Structure 1
Amino acid sequence: MTRIVLPANGWRPRDYQMPAWSALERGVKRLALAWHRRAGKDDLCLHWEARSAMTRVGVYWHMLPLANQARKAIWDAVNPRTGRRRIDDAFPPEIRATTREQDMFIRFKNGSTWQVVGSDNYNALVGSPPVGVVFSEYALADPSAWGFLRPILAENGGWALFISTPRGNNHFAKMVDFAMRDPDWFGQILGVADTGVISSEAIERERREMAAERGEQEADAMIAQEYACDFNAAIPGAYYGALMTRADKEGRIGVFPHLPSEPVGTAWDLGSGDSTVVWMYQQTKNGRVRLIDVLEGSGVGVDWYIQRLQARPYTYADHIWPHDGGHGNIRDIGGTSLSATARNLGLKPLRILDRDPTIEMGINAVRQMLPLCEFNTDPIPFQGESADTARARMSRALDGLRQYRRQWNEKSQRFDEKPLHDWASNTADSFRYLARGRKPFPGSRSSPRSNVAAMD
């Protein structure tokens, strides 16, 4: 009988990787690793997945933020040190029963399975629940994927590894901070100064090359994130990152509760096949736009959202919908236009916006409105919802605004003018409709300042 040693192909953790590997061997089931680029994050996880699959029969997932990234980033990726695909380094043929290239799926001889998947469609994945999940590039991923999988792994005693370089002070930053303080987790931040893997000369050469392609500011931000693991560095290509940082520094992100004396408006992004997001806001006497609440869901009808809005202790003065909600493009099961259905269910007054001439106009409207905004991080829980879950709802929405960014074009090596469509898009789109459609509430004593004046 052939004897297989795992980790395979002579792989051993590097010195700086040993604390994380030792934590796994000790039985720690939650790791959050903010390691710099080329520190071997995915390699370590792939070898741990191989070992785990042989010691506990079950389903294992290696999860990227987007399913269409998975093939290039993991499945087809070649290890420059060995010249082999990374999956072949970690999973030798002797332990495999079948390998399905199209599905990026491996079935092992002992019955375990491993697959590369995307967190953008986590709730569409079918089959047995996983007992081990790697969240690769988690700073860019939809954090609700972890919310979905957390109780599954808690119930079956599975593990979860979160690996990434930073992308602003977002959900991954909070997770790493928690992991470094909690005895049941292992958390670690490693920049190049900690590992010595890449020379300062090589990094400076890359910075100069990047500056020639993207500009000095973009290059400095990328180096700070990718190599120094700086969570406070600007997010390259982000539309609202600097304005959200400013809001935080000015104390406009915190506890700003609902004002019972003032009416509430809503702004919707209507998902067709993905999630719908509803922002709830007030306009205060001093001209602020107070974001008091947010609601997100998927796979449910418009009645689900309206019922939840009607259960809130709010007096509504305005509901803003995008153009496609009123022109019959989105219909309910009975074929009625969604706007007619909503009005029949009591969502009034309902305004349908005209189509944006360009998306840039809407983005500029958000940029002008953001200096007026204050965000409530402690919204009222919905029925059956804990206070922590309610706070996580708003935290995810804020991360969506921070992460909303231009799409990077690998071919031209520059950012496209259009936004990247990912988990942050729905949150940002509904916020854009708010910025475009906001106007004084009828009969309200609050008179919002003009967006343009707010920039002075």
Structure 2
Amino acid sequence: MEYEFRVRWYQRAFHEALVNRTYDRLIAIWHRRAGKDEIVLNAMRELAWKSPGTYWHCFPEQKQARKAIWNGVNGHTGKRRILEAFPPQIIKRMQDDDMFIELTNGATFQLIGSDRYDSTVGSGPKGIAYSEWALSNPSAWAYHSPMIRETGGFAAFITTPRGNNHAKTMFDRAKESPSWFSELLSIEDTRALSGDDLAEALQEYQDMHGIDLGRAIFEQEYLCSFAGAMVGAYWGAEMAQAEREGRICDVPVNHDYPVHTAWDLGKAVNNPIWCFQVIDGKPRVVDFYRPESDDLEEWVRWLDDRGYKGNDYVPHDAVVTEWGTKRTRVETLQLLKRKPKRVAKVSVADGINAGRKTIQAAVFDKERCELGIEGLKNYRREWDDELKTFRENPVKDWAEHIGSSFRYLGLAWREAMVQQPKEKPKKDIAFEADEKTGVIKSNLTFAELIKRQEKRRRA
């Protein structure tokens, strides 16, 4: 069957590696407007037609998939993008609600979102592609990867850079692995746009964001620069500094000190918990937990099993009725033998400032806190298109709750500060027997003995 689709010269290596299944894992870091999703959509159709099975195309959010692909229209042809990639003559049925297509050969294709990754059920996919991977929830791949391994399928990751986050980490690892296809294409590699087009794009960014920030965004979008923090990130510079200073490293738990926790007790799942200690007046972030269920007892069991039994710092509004019960969340935690302490109510701006200062002082365990660290890098402000400025409120994506719970950590850790473990006090007696020899000895000097005798005589 013939299709009106032409692979551009600079897209060929990735396209061929994908459709020929040369690699099971692929990552392509391409500049803006390089045709990433177009390549993936058409490759998915070819693969589904040659090898029937289940195929998924995952966007950062489900609503983005609907807007960009399912309902999106190609400005050059005036046709729906999904129907250009999957012509009606090969479609058996389409389901609009869940953006699902069944082909006449039995294969299926579906658009999904990393914000609802755990809602994907049924038979495992033969292939999955993540669009704008740098903005996606990295937990999605952790959840999907066992399915892909079971089917012997492939996973492809396409994105433009968004600072030094999980996409950069994956790309760096892929470059060192012979089992991965990896490719970075900037506008200087593809020459896909003219000099005039690029000058216009740069001017637009600078008009919207100012000269310096506008150039940084242009270099990120078109030159595929990973330098600097994600644009709009609250704590990007602080996290970058922590990495440079080696404060994201191996941080063992010191069992002489309590391990406290900071929670964002929101709706059901996605309530991340930071686990930290305070030693020598400094916060040590030793662990991170993101529940996959709404079972509070399961969360507490996770903490108890690790011996994390310090204070549990929760939002000020944790006294509202807990999910499906007549108890408050604080009462529920108390019944589970935890020690909840409410964090005083402050503005989001004050919480963010507290989080910033905390990052500047803290060390983070690199392995146990990996997902949490990525969340802190991705926690960012919304952009107001009309006012051409960042709003104060955070983007409501997978990183929002991670950042929120860290705000509570930032507000709480000084209260959790404790003294160094005290030495055992000397026994307040004049004489004692040595435990091994039985010899009577004194823990007081001769002068102290005389003084004590005088004191007793006066009494």
- What TM-score range do you get, normalising by the shorter chain? 0.7 to 0.9
Displacement of 1:114 in angstroms is 1.4
Identify the range of structure 1 (234-243 vs 75-84) with the bigger mean alpha-carbon deviation: 75-84
Is 2:314–2:343's contact at 8 Å kept on the other side of the alignment?
Answer: yes
Matched, 1:276 2:265: no
Displacement of 1:408 in angstroms is 2.4
Displacement of 1:416 in angstroms is 2.3
1:26-55 CA distance string (max 9 Å, x none):
532211111000111101100111011111
Larger-Rg structure: 2
Matched, 1:150 2:140: no
Partner-residue secondary structure (3-state), 2:115: helix
Match of residue 397 from structure 1:
372
Name structure 1 gaps, 5 residues minimum: 378-390, 447-456
1:288 is matched with which residue: 277, 282, 304? 282
Match of residue 414 from structure 2:
439
Is 1:33–1:188's contact at 8 Å kept on the other side of the alignment?
Answer: yes
1:206-236 CA distance string (max 9 Å, x none):
1222212122232122112111111123311
Match of residue 344 from structure 2:
354
Is 2:351–2:408's contact at 8 Å kept on the other side of the alignment?
Answer: yes
1:197 is matched with which residue: 172, 192, 195? 192
Match of residue 113 from structure 1:
108
CA distance in 2, matches of 1:58, 1:284: 54
1:69 is matched with which residue: 61, 64, 68? 64
Identify the range of structure 1 (205-214 vs 80-89) with the bigger mean alpha-carbon deviation: 80-89
Seen in structure 2, the aligned counterparts of structure 1 residues 194 and 340 have a Cα distance that, compared at 3 Å, is same
Seen in structure 2, the aligned counterparts of structure 1 residues 412 and 371 have a Cα distance that, compared at 3 Å, is same
Match of residue 385 from structure 1:
none
Displacement of 1:175 in angstroms is 1.3
Matched, 1:40 2:32: no
Alignment TM-score, normalising by the size of structure 1: 0.87
Seen in structure 2, the aligned counterparts of structure 1 residues 260 and 200 have a Cα distance that, compared at 3 Å, is farther
Partner-residue secondary structure (3-state), 1:291: strand
Is 1:221–1:234's contact at 8 Å kept on the other side of the alignment?
Answer: no
Letter in 1 for 2:210: G
CA distance in 2, matches of 1:359, 1:108: 49
Match of residue 373 from structure 1:
362
Seen in structure 2, the aligned counterparts of structure 1 residues 88 and 264 have a Cα distance that, compared at 3 Å, is same
Displacement of 1:102 in angstroms is 4.1
Match of residue 334 from structure 2:
343
1:429-450 CA distance string (max 9 Å, x none):
110011112224375239xxxx
Displacement of 1:413 in angstroms is 4.4
CA distance in 2, matches of 1:116, 1:243: 35
Partner-residue secondary structure (3-state), 2:75: coil
Letter in 1 for 2:328: S
Structure 1 residue runs of 4+, over 6 Å off?
A: none
Seen in structure 2, the aligned counterparts of structure 1 residues 129 and 414 have a Cα distance that, compared at 3 Å, is farther
Displacement of 1:318 in angstroms is 2.1
Give the 5 Å matches for 1:183-222. 183-222=178-217
Name structure 2 gaps, 5 residues minimum: 422-459
Identity of aligned residues (%): 38
Is 2:279–2:418's contact at 8 Å kept on the other side of the alignment?
Answer: no
Matched, 1:322 2:315: yes
Match of residue 223 from structure 1:
218
Partner-residue secondary structure (3-state), 2:369: helix
